[in-house]
Structure 1
Amino acid sequence: MAGLTASGVGSGLDIQGLVQQLVAAERAPHALRLNRAEAGAKAKLSALGSLSSAFDALRKALDPLRNQDAFGARTAKSTAEDVFTVSAARNAPLGSYEVEVLSLASAHKLVSGALDEEASLGVGRLLIEVGDKTFEVEIVAGKDSPAEIRDAVNAAAKAAGAKLGATLVRSDDGVHLSLTATETGAANRIRVTRLEGDATLDALVYDPGTLTSLTERNPAADAQVRIDGLLRSATGNRITDAVPGLTIELKKAEPGEISTFTVSADASAVRGAVQAFVNAYNAAVSAMASVTRYNAETREPSALTGDALIRGASSQLRNALSEALGEAAEMGLTASRLGLSTRVDGTLAFDAGKFDAALASDGASIREAFGGDSGLAARLADVVDRFIGRDGAFAGRSAGLNKQLKSVADQREALDRRLESVRARYLAQFTAMDTLIAQLNSTSQFLAQRLAPPRQES
């Protein structure tokens, strides 16, 4: 690359340096124009990106109000949480209910008498029934100790998919084989019979009405509860189908004791949804103000100062909000009563206390004002949808700016190609000039030598 800085042979000029300076001078105004165009397009794209994010957040905040999910939130409170607790799903029926817990569900448990841990109990086959599962346990010679029988029962139960577990419990008088159903309810009782084999296996039989060598420690019992005087039985202590949308967890049986629980609308969920909407609306308004702000002190505009698209978005949002609040006022829900007010900069202020008071006294009207196809949330969502998404106005504008950036890149490439030709032309011209000067210098030197007077001898 040393040749790039070599001086001309004839002129002594830095030809490469001169060519570079000339090309740079020609590039400068075009590069400045393209850089400004690129920077402007990128700034607008960034501004549109922030606006799209703010509008998208507003759209998401409006959804719980529009589809009225927030209004379906419920709270349930038991007056005797040591006896039972209640949880309520969305849109569960409102009201109060009386509850009397008659009995809890329990899992069937059988325990054998004391067994010698090292003794053989005999060989044969046992038939075990638990719930709707029936399986056989084969006990063979050499594997008939209490521990081995326990393992055989567990393996057979697992293979059959039966909800039963066998364990050994050690006590002062020996070990005891315990059989426990792993699901509660009367339908999951255990029955053990001997199909064949040694009579000593009768120590493990539980067949009410015939032979009950095993002792019943826990009965297989259903839970029973009265709800508003109506009896409901369940195989477990969690009752989910007595009242739609309610789950009652039974903790303790107290026959004769009547408690209550109340299901009410969850005011905090509705308030939280409205507060989220206000926050998102304010963020969208602030984002529009930020990208269109003009700094009077520095006289510098923002990326989208004066942009008609943003003015239109701001105007449409304000109009939709104003129309929705106007219709709510016709229903007796003024903005002030809803706890909403508009600040000087166009953002909203929210008074949660006023809103809670209105919700408590006129919840149905508030639900109508905010939700449904013609409520505040739907009106604002319709406006937002015009600007975001694949077919939204912001996407259309962004696509145009991306095309502009592509055009700038194409123009840069074209400029580079043209200036390369200019550089080559300048280089050729300066090289030709330098060659001509070298030739003239050579001719001048030759003539000077020829025309010089002869030297005088002394």
Structure 2
Amino acid sequence: MAGIRINTGSGIDPKMVDQLVEIEREPIKQLETRKKTLIDEQKLFNDLKALVSTLGTTLNGMRTKADYYKLKVVSSHPDIIEGTVDNNAPIGSYEVEVKHLAKTHKLLTQSFEDKDKTPVGFGYMTIETEEGDSFDVDIDPDRSTLQDVATQINSMDKGVKAIVINTKEKLEDDDEDNFRLLVISEKSGKQAKVTIDPDTTYLDFKEQITGRNLEMVFEDVKVYNETNKVTELIPGLVLDVKKEEPGTKINLKIDYDTDKSLETIKKFVESYNKVNEFIDKQFQLDPVTNKAGVLSKDNSLRSLRRALQTSIQFSLPSGKFQTLADVGISTDPKTGALKYDEAKAKKAMAEDYVGVSKLFIQSDDTVGIGIRMSDSVRGLQNPVSGVLPSKDREYKHILENFDKDIAVKNRQAKQREEAIRRQFTVVEQLISGMNAQGQVLQQKLGGAQG
């Protein structure tokens, strides 16, 4: 009788179970793929938002006269006096003469052989400023050198500083020693005088330099200041006086800084073109896939482009420079990008800075592109009604739903996997039981044949 072939196992490949489990997880993989695609799209949209934000920041510098106007100070003698200015300063040329620089009051002691060995007395000395503040410098007998006194004065932080200087006077005069204590008022000007009563010390102070105010002649008017930095002469002007030159007439001209204004315009053109280029690229067909960009079907891009293009298409009712094209800014009809002729813009500004500015800022009778486009951008960014925040909320909502769906399907897949593995175990046990019965039967049949 032919032998009966009995399997020793179930004969079911365990990989088949894993494959069934993977089939159950396929919908999850599809959801995760769609989620990743949306996240990539969201990242691209965030890039667009960043470009729009940069454009908005640039436009903020072109909304009003205070934002847009740039002034500068040109000095005929920058080695004597220079200045800086803000937008509140009056345009014009002014004549200045520097009679005297402001100086600090300085007191000097007699000379000593060394700075850190010879005692200069002990007890105390009193220092008084012109403002009426006074303080005592206590001198310890064990710490009473020139350096000790200087350290003590400086540690008190009372508007007076002290330094030990090495004059090397002994090289010229054998009767003099090299080291002296120099006490300096930290304030300059006539009123910044320092008085020292050496009292129990061996120090003898003499006035080295008398404190003095800055003295200038501004437009034939005498002007004084406690320091050499003048901040209150006329609104918006700060002067840095470097040296005195009596008899030298200095011309200070406060004028429009066209170079800085041109920089602002150039940044605007560049930031606008980056936004335009981004949008234009989304609507272009890829020559390989013949598909447009992933954001091409997004209505927010169309809304953004329409808002920007509308803002830039305007003209002023009067004046030589009525359109942006008049000052070197034109639109490419094919791409929508702005073309910038800086030489033309510079020439226009040199001719009529105020007239050109009206194309960009809000004045009494005009509204320029700074306000028009800035308001459009702000509208797009409005947290409640803006297109961009609305799109953000849409992405957030869809991604949250993806996460919920993936979580539900993960639970279902887990339950299905457990069911499949339980069924596989039952089948394994059944087949194993049948195999065991087959072996017993084979043994019996084999014995009967014997």
| Same fold? TM cut 0.5 | yes
Task: Give yes or no for contact 1:71–1:269 (8 Å, CA) kept in 2.
Answer: no
Give, in angstroms, the shift of residue 252 of structure 1.
2.7
Map of 1:2-21 to 2, 5 A cutoff?
Answer: 11-14=10-13, 16-21=14-19
Give, in angstroms, the shift of residue 435 of structure 1.
5.3
How far apart in 2 are the matches of 1:431 and 1:385?
Answer: 65
Alpha-carbon spacing, 1:451–1:378, altered in 2? closer, same or farther (3 Å): same
Please point out which of 350, 353, 360 is paired with 2:343.
353
Map of 1:180-329 to 2, 5 A cutoff?
Answer: 180-193=184-197, 204=204, 214=206, 216-322=207-313, 325-327=314-316
Task: Give yes or no for contact 2:71–2:255 (8 Å, CA) kept in 1.
Answer: yes
Aligned partner of 1:334 in structure 2 is: 323
Alpha-carbon spacing, 1:447–1:240, altered in 2? closer, same or farther (3 Å): closer
Aligned partner of 2:41 in structure 1 is: 44
Task: Give yes or no for contact 1:288–1:310 (8 Å, CA) kept in 2.
Answer: yes
Verify: 1:401 aligned to 2:395, yes or no.
yes
Give, in angstroms, the shift of residue 326 of structure 1.
2.6
Aligned partner of 1:22 in structure 2 is: 20
Task: Give yes or no for contact 2:189–2:213 (8 Å, CA) kept in 1.
Answer: yes
3-state secondary structure, aligned to 1:337: helix
How far apart in 2 are the matches of 1:277 and 1:241?
Answer: 34
Calculate the TM-score normalised by the size of structure 2.
Answer: 0.81
Letter in 2 for 1:13: I
Calculate the TM-score normalised by the size of structure 1.
Answer: 0.80
Aligned partner of 1:208 in structure 2 is: none
Q: How many corresponding residue pairs?
A: 430
Task: Give yes or no for contact 2:153–2:161 (8 Å, CA) kept in 1.
Answer: no
Letter in 2 for 1:377: G
Give, in angstroms, the shift of residue 116 of structure 1.
6.8
Task: Give yes or no for contact 2:101–2:213 (8 Å, CA) kept in 1.
Answer: yes
Letter in 2 for 1:73: K
Verify: 1:383 aligned to 2:380, yes or no.
no
How far apart in 2 are the matches of 1:182 and 1:83?
Answer: 23
3-state secondary structure, aligned to 1:370: coil
How far apart in 2 are the matches of 1:119 and 1:446?
Answer: 119
Alpha-carbon spacing, 1:446–1:194, altered in 2? closer, same or farther (3 Å): closer
How far apart in 1 are the matches of 2:331 and 2:153?
Answer: 72
How far apart in 2 are the matches of 1:122 and 1:447?
Answer: 125
Aligned partner of 1:211 in structure 2 is: none
3-state secondary structure, aligned to 2:362: coil
Give, in angstroms, the shift of residue 27 of structure 1.
3.9
Alpha-carbon spacing, 1:74–1:449, altered in 2? closer, same or farther (3 Å): closer
How far apart in 1 are the matches of 2:288 and 2:143?
Answer: 97
Deviation track 1:361-389 (CA, whole Å, cap 9, x = no partner) reads 22223323212384211221222223336
How far apart in 1 are the matches of 2:442 and 2:138?
Answer: 130
Aligned partner of 1:209 in structure 2 is: none
How far apart in 2 are the matches of 1:375 and 1:363?
Answer: 14
Unaligned runs of 5+ in 2: 1-5
How far apart in 2 are the matches of 1:125 and 1:415?
Answer: 88
How far apart in 2 are the matches of 1:311 and 1:58?
Answer: 17
Please point out which of 353, 366, 369 is paired with 2:356.
366
Alpha-carbon spacing, 1:204–1:35, altered in 2? closer, same or farther (3 Å): closer
Map of 1:136-215 to 2, 5 A cutoff?
Answer: 136=136, 147-148=145-146, 151-152=148-149, 155-156=152-153, 158-159=155-156, 161-165=158-162, 167=164, 169-172=167-170, 173-175=175-177, 176-193=180-197, 204=204, 214=206
Task: Give yes or no for contact 1:97–1:227 (8 Å, CA) kept in 2.
Answer: yes
Letter in 1 for 2:396: N
Task: Give yes or no for contact 1:9–1:434 (8 Å, CA) kept in 2.
Answer: no
Identity of aligned residues (%): 22
Task: Give yes or no for contact 1:43–1:303 (8 Å, CA) kept in 2.
Answer: no
Give, in angstroms, the shift of residue 302 of structure 1.
2.1
Verify: 1:130 aligned to 2:129, yes or no.
yes
Alpha-carbon spacing, 1:53–1:178, altered in 2? closer, same or farther (3 Å): closer
Computed over aligned residues only, the root mean square deviation of the Cα atoms, in angstroms, reads 3.7
Deviation track 1:282-319 (CA, whole Å, cap 9, x = no partner) reads 11111222344332541233211222221111111111
3-state secondary structure, aligned to 2:235: coil
Deviation track 1:4-34 (CA, whole Å, cap 9, x = no partner) reads xxx98665222x3323323433543x24532
Task: Give yes or no for contact 2:125–2:136 (8 Å, CA) kept in 1.
Answer: yes
Deviation track 1:240-270 (CA, whole Å, cap 9, x = no partner) reads 2112222222233222332211011111111
Aligned partner of 1:3 in structure 2 is: none
How far apart in 2 are the matches of 1:45 and 1:428?
Answer: 42
Aligned partner of 1:414 in structure 2 is: 408
Unaligned runs of 5+ in 1: 1-6, 206-213
Map of 1:432-451 to 2, 5 A cutoff?
Answer: 432=426
Q: Which one has the largest radius of gyration?
A: 1
Give, in angstroms, the shift of residue 223 of structure 1.
1.5
Deviation track 1:9-65 (CA, whole Å, cap 9, x = no partner) reads 665222x3323323433543x245324421331132112111111111111111111
Task: Give yes or no for contact 2:269–2:338 (8 Å, CA) kept in 1.
Answer: yes
